[in-house]
């Protein structure tokens, strides 16, 4: 269950029936807490969260944008983003964890490609879950 201090829980219960049509603020409060708990445990919701967290960074969005065009090696990404190799590698790991890119060795260099089907799948899940028309 969500941990709200007792005093704050009482305050919230007191306000609930003023902002919404409810008869029993204690039951309504329990139902709202149950909704929150279910969201935290929902696998699809957590998958959406992981996807959005991976995209929630300017450098990672830049990386996705340049990988849409073609696969790139890390040194190309360093030049494009004007960032150090360790910084680029950090962002690449985050995108790999979200299964949005894949890397492979080619000689001494590591190349990355965008997994477009996974990006599209995540966007579709986001669209379905939040009923967004794009």
Domain check: are 17 and 61 in the same one?
A: no
Report the predicted TM-score, pTM, of the whole model to 2 decimal places: 0.70
* Closest C-alpha to 51, from 131, 133, 132, 115: 115
Domain check: are 114 and 88 in the same one?
A: yes
Domain presence at residue 1 = no
* Burial readout 77-96 (b: 16 or more C-beta within 10 A, e: otherwise): bbeebebeeeebbebbebbe
- Residue 62 banded pLDDT, cuts 50, 70, 90: very high
Question: 34 is in which domain, residue-wise?
Answer: 6-41
7 contact partners, CB below 8 Å, separation of at least 6: none
Domain check: are 36 and 69 in the same one?
A: no
CA 123 to chain centre: 11
Asked if residues 112 and 71 have their Cβ atoms less than 8 Å apart, the reply is yes
Domain check: are 15 and 59 in the same one?
A: no
Out of 19-23, 55-59, 78-82, least confident range = 19-23
Give the pLDDT score at 1.
43
Q: Residue 72 belongs to a domain with what CATH number?
A: 1.10.10.10
- Residue 27 banded pLDDT, cuts 50, 70, 90: confident
More confident residue, 105 or 41: 105
Domain presence at residue 58 = yes
Residue 134 has pLDDT above 70, yes or no: no
């Amino acid at each position: 269950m969500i941990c709200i201090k007792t005093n704050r829980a009482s305050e919230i219960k007191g306000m609930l029936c003023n902002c919404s049509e409810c008869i029993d603020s204690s039951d309504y409060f329990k139902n709202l807490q149950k909704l929150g708990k279910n969201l935290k445990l929902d696998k699809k919701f957590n998958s959406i969260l992981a996807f959005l967290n991976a995209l929630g960074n300017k450098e990672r969005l830049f990386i996705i944008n340049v990988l849409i065009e073609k696969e790139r090696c890390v040194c190309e990404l360093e030049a494009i983003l004007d960032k150090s190799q360790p910084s680029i590698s950090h962002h690449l790991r985050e995108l790999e964890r979200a299964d949005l890119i894949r890397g492979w060795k080619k000689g001494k260099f590591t190349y990355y490609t965008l997994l477009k089907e996974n990006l599209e799948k995540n966007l579709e899940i986001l669209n379905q879950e939040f009923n967004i028309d794009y």
